[in-house]
């Protein structure tokens, strides 16, 4: 503790302590010599009586001097303040209140959340301010009120607090503290203070790149508003196991439920689709562990569907649901052109493709494949119109009629996709596909001849950065090297083409190229067992499905799940859509328009609450409508906490903990103003004066037993 004086000028009154000393020196008793005839009849003077009188005079002098000094000190208004408090106990105050409004502050019990307790502490702090003080208030975690307002009037801050509500986002409290410090540093107030009211979730204090310490002279108070709870269950992620989702075909979901607490938890996960509940599964999860739950559901019609997985039911209910927007599509029409048909099924060029695309279609349970294939020969393609299909597979097709070749080129130019497999017929002739250029289908690479290596080659180099192979990067059972080949066509990529897979001898294995609005993927080997074992390997079916999904542009028919605070992907906006035509509707019913981004782009509003959001263009003739889902940031569900010392280290200043949340204003005022001890000094001075009066007027008594002797 340190001693400071609010009115140090009155310390000059301490000079008045010299007055009793001067009075004592001027009016002290002096001995007077008197001639006297005889003293034998007088009592003997008691020398101890003289010594007592001298001691009393000294004590009275000390008491009078001390009383004057105490009165002077009391007039100077002394205060006791903590070491390093800074500021001025008598000066004005500029206060920045940072009220954590992140999703985790919604945790609570008995109808009171952590945010309610924090808001009460903020009101206490604002109520302790005096006339001439300033205040700003921030609500990190609530997108609408993250920044400090321009006004520093205390009444404005109180009005903002009265209308505040807890958000659903994630708070960056270190950044908020630095912004608050910058806001109050411009003030001329003697005391500059920040009150951070938070549940001290560790995720809110992850360094966000701002760096730097708070300015010197800014006091930081930290009030812990956490709801005491050692348990929290939440579904943290979900994915579709068999994308794309097609109406009429079972969609398989995997949901991860995490136990964030310190004790084992049991519960039930529930699936809801478009508001209807479809059962659930029991789980038992150890502390800090996860459980994977599986769900299966058939969507009865194409379009967007609202899918929710629920688990939890604890003190933090905001994270008990995980939302996913699912677009169920119709079965994809695929045209398969067979360049080498055979009466024997196993010798047919497209036997394995037919088996893959017709997967389960003839079973009692209905179709399991998202593709609806149509098989034609080269001759039949001449009279067919590929425009009615989403993708085309050319299996060992040597050359086409002029009409069919032109139709395929137009098909690709207008956004269609072609997957090419080679074989003995395409390798036998000359030119791009074994025939005259005008009769060739659009390709990604020219054929430079047939290669028959002495040793079988494998798929050695796969570009997992390409969208074709990227989903298989983390799949342990997807070993492309298990496929071996005895023959292949040597491909010479066309201009603008890209090699996305190579054989072990370095030759291109898969080449892809965009043409017009469409795309072509070309495989250097066959789709049967004549040139290799690829059709019987684990990788064949998922790779074929992935390629066809990309070529047919059904990539988006999976689950869309974003995070509160993020923006919907701009890719969801159709080309040519005007800024004023778009509206984002939130689950609560609020509607917000996008803003203009850099370079003429459209900047969609951030998700401000969990649930399902519709992006639509309500203008006449538009009909555009897209569903998005937003979820609580997983970091808000974690129970790990940051200590006050950790906060001090991150912000480079000593954080002062508030002991009682409900008395935040009183504690801050005590720290700011200190404890005035002037009244105690006046009481002490009065006590000294009473003692002085008693001593000064008390008679001295000598030793009555002494007799005069002669």
Res. 36: pLDDT tops 80: no
Mean pLDDT computed over every residue of the chain: 83
**Token representation of residue 641:** 């906490």
Architecture of the domain whose range is 345-552 = 3-Layer(aba) Sandwich (3.40)
Say which residue, 72 or 264, is predicted with more confidence. 264
Res. 402: pLDDT tops 90: no
Question: Percentage of the chain surpassing pLDDT 70?
Answer: 81
* DSSP code for 492: E
Say if residues 332 and 320 touch (Cβ distance below 8 Å).
no
Confidence of residue 601 (pLDDT cuts 50, 70, 90): confident
Task: Mean pLDDT check: name the lowest of 35-44, 87-96, 387-396.
Answer: 35-44
Place of tokens 């302790």: 128
* Residue of 175, 173, 169 lying closest to 607 (CA atoms): 169
Say if residues 529 and 508 touch (Cβ distance below 8 Å).
no
Res. 28: pLDDT tops 90: no
CATH number of 233-329: 2.60.40.10
Q: Judge if pTM exceeds 0.75.
A: no
For CATH 3.40.50.880, the residue range(s) in the chain are 345-552
Res 702: pLDDT = 53
> Tens digits of per-residue pLDDT, 299-314?
989 889 999 999 987 8
Res 46: pLDDT = 56
Confidence of residue 710 (pLDDT cuts 50, 70, 90): very low
Confidence of residue 367 (pLDDT cuts 50, 70, 90): low
> Tens digits of per-residue pLDDT, 111-164?
889 999 999 999 999 999 988 899 999 999 886 555 555 467 889 899 999 999
> Tens digits of per-residue pLDDT, 40-63?
555 555 555 666 677 777 787 787
Res 37: pLDDT = 64
Q: Is 66 helix (H, G, I), strand (E, B) or coil?
A: helix
Confidence of residue 90 (pLDDT cuts 50, 70, 90): low
Res 431: pLDDT = 40
Q: What integer is the mean pLDDT of 409-418?
A: 94
Q: What is the DSSP string of 348-400?
A: STTHHHHHHHTTTTTSTT----SEEEEEEEHHHHTT--GGG-SEEEEES----
Q: How far apart are the first and last CA of the chain?
A: 67
* Residue of 208, 195, 267, 206 lying closest to 232 (CA atoms): 267
**Token representation of residue 577:** 């859509």
Q: What integer is the mean pLDDT of 643-666?
A: 90
Res. 565: pLDDT tops 60: yes
Task: Mean pLDDT check: name the lowest of 69-83, 282-296, 608-622, 691-705.
Answer: 691-705
Q: What integer is the mean pLDDT of 397-404?
A: 84
CA 256 to chain centre: 19
Res. 193: pLDDT tops 70: yes
HSE toward the beta carbon, residue 498, CA cutoff 13 A? 11
**Token representation of residue 330:** 């119709």
What are the residues whose beta carbons fall under 8 Å from the beta carbon of 174, sequence distance 6 or more? 205, 207, 208, 210, 650, 651
CATH of 562-634, one of 2.60.40, 2.30.30, 1.20.58, 3.40.1000: 2.60.40
Task: Mean pLDDT check: name the lowest of 28-32, 323-327, 544-548, 601-605.
Answer: 28-32
Task: Mean pLDDT check: name the lowest of 53-67, 281-295, 443-457, 509-523.
Answer: 53-67
Task: Mean pLDDT check: name the lowest of 366-380, 515-529, 646-660.
Answer: 366-380
* Residue of 632, 641, 651 lying closest to 199 (CA atoms): 641
Res. 435: pLDDT tops 60: no
Confidence of residue 709 (pLDDT cuts 50, 70, 90): very low
Q: Is 576 helix (H, G, I), strand (E, B) or coil?
A: coil
Paired sense of beta strands 445-451 and 265-273, if any: unpaired
- Does CATH number 3.40.50.410 belong to domain 93-229+639-673? yes
Say if residues 127 and 103 touch (Cβ distance below 8 Å).
no
Q: What is the DSSP string of 645-679?
A: HHHHHHHTS-EEE-S-GGGHHHHHHHHHH-EE-HH
Res 81: pLDDT = 63
Give the separation between CA 230 and CA 262, rounded to whole angstroms.
6
What are the angstrom distances between the C-alpha of 432 and each of 130, 415, 446? 86, 22, 4
Question: Percentage of the chain surpassing pLDDT 90?
Answer: 39
Give the separation between CA 368 and CA 351, rounded to whole angstroms.
18
Q: What integer is the mean pLDDT of 630-636?
A: 92
Res. 173: pLDDT tops 80: yes
Give the separation between CA 483 and CA 456, rounded to whole angstroms.
10
Res 453: pLDDT = 92
Res. 469: pLDDT tops 60: yes
HSE toward the beta carbon, residue 675, CA cutoff 13 A? 9
For CATH 2.60.40.10, the residue range(s) in the chain are 233-329
Res 95: pLDDT = 93
Res. 244: pLDDT tops 70: yes
Res 698: pLDDT = 73
Confidence of residue 89 (pLDDT cuts 50, 70, 90): low
What are the angstrom distances between the C-alpha of 650 and each of 106, 175, 206, 226, 375? 25, 10, 9, 20, 66
Say if residues 105 and 201 touch (Cβ distance below 8 Å).
no
What are the angstrom distances between the C-alpha of 193 and each of 156, 178, 183, 337, 654? 18, 12, 11, 76, 12
Which secondary structure element, helix H or strand E, spans residue 118, and what is its range? helix 114-127
Select the highest-mean-pLDDT range: 345-349, 380-384, 483-487.
483-487
């Amino acid at each position: 503790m340190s001693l400071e004086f609010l009115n140090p000028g009155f310390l000059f009154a301490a000079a008045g302590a010299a007055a009793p000393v001067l009075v004592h020196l001027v009016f002290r008793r002096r001995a007077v010599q008197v001639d006297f005839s005889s003293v034998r009849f007088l009592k003997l003077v008691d020398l101890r009586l003289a010594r007592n009188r001298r001691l009393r005079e000294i004590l009275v002098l000390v008491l009078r001097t001390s009383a004057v000094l105490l009165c002077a000190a009391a007039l100077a208004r002394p205060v006791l303040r903590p070491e390093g408090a800074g500021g001025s106990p008598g000066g004005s105050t500029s206060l920045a209140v940072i009220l954590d409004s992140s999703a985790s502050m919604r945790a609570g019990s008995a109808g009171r959340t952590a945010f309610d307790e924090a808001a009460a502490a903020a009101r206490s702090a604002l109520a302790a301010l005096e006339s001439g003080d300033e205040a700003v208030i921030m609500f990190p975690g609530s997108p609408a009120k993250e920044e400090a307002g321009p006004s520093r009037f205390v009444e404005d801050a109180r009005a903002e607090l009265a209308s505040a509500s807890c958000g659903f986002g994630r708070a960056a409290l270190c950044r908020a503290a630095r912004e608050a410090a910058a806001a109050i540093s411009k003030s001329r107030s003697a005391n500059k203070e920040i009150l951070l009211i938070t549940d001290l979730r560790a995720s809110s204090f992850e360094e966000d790149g701002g760096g730097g310490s708070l300015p010197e002279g800014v006091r930081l108070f930290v009030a812990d508003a956490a709801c005491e709870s050692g348990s929290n269950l939440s579904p943290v992620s979900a994915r579709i196991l068999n994308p794309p989702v097609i109406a009429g075909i079972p969609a398989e979901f995997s949901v991860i439920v995490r136990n964030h607490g310190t004790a084992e938890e049991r519960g039930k996960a529930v699936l809801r689709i478009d508001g209807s509940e479809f059962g659930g599964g029991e789980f038992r999860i150890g502390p800090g562990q996860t459980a994977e739950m599986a769900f299966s559901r058939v969507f009865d019609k194409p379009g967007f569907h609202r899918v929710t997985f629920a688990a939890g039911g604890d003190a933090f209910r905001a994270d008990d649901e995980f939302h996913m927007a699912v677009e169920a599509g119709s079965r994809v029409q695929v045209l398969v052109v067979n360049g080498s048909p055979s009466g024997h099924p196993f010798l047919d060029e497209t036997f394995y493709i037919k088996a893959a695309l017709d997967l389960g279609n003839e079973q009692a349970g209905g179709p399991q494949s998202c593709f609806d294939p149509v098989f034609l020969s080269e001759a039949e393609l001449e009279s067919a119109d590929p425009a009615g299909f989403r993708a085309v597979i050319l299996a060992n097709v040597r050359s086409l009629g002029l009409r069919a070749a032109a139709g395929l080129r137009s098909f690709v130019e207008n956004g269609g996709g072609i997957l090419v497999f080679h074989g003995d017929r395409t390798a036998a002739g000359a030119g791009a596909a074994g025939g005259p250029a005008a009769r060739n289908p659009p390709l990604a690479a020219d054929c430079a001849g047939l290669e028959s290596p002495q040793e079988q080659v494998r798929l050695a180099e796969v570009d997992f950065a390409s969208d074709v192979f990227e989903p298989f990067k983390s799949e342990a059972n997807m070993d492309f090297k298990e496929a071996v080949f005895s023959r292949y066509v040597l491909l010479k990529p066309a201009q603008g083409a890209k090699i996305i897979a190579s054989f072990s001898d370095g030759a291109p294995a898969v080449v892809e190229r965009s043409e017009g609005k469409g795309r072509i993927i070309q495989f250097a080997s066959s789709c049967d067992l004549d040139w290799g074992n690829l059709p019987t390997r684990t990788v064949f079916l998922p790779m074929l499905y992935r390629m066809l999904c990309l070529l047919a542009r059904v990539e988006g028919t999976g689950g869309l799940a974003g995070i509160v605070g993020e923006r919907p992907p701009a890719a969801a906006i159709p080309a040519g859509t005007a800024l004023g035509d778009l509206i984002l509707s939130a689950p609560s019913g609020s509607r917000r328009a996008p803003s203009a981004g850099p370079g003429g782009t459209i900047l969609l509003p951030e998700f401000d609450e969990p649930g399902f959001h519709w992006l639509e263009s309500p203008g006449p003739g538009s009909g555009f409508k897209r569903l998005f889902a937003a979820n609580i940031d997983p970091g808000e569900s974690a129970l790990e906490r940051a200590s006050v010392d950790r906060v001090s280290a991150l912000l480079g200043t000593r954080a002062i903990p508030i002991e009682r949340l409900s008395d935040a204003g009183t504690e801050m005022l005590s720290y700011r103003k200190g404890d005035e001890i002037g009244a105690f000094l006046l009481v002490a001075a009065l006590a000294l004066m009473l003692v002085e009066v008693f001593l000064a007027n008390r008679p001295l008594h000598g030793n009555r037993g002494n007799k005069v002797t002669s």
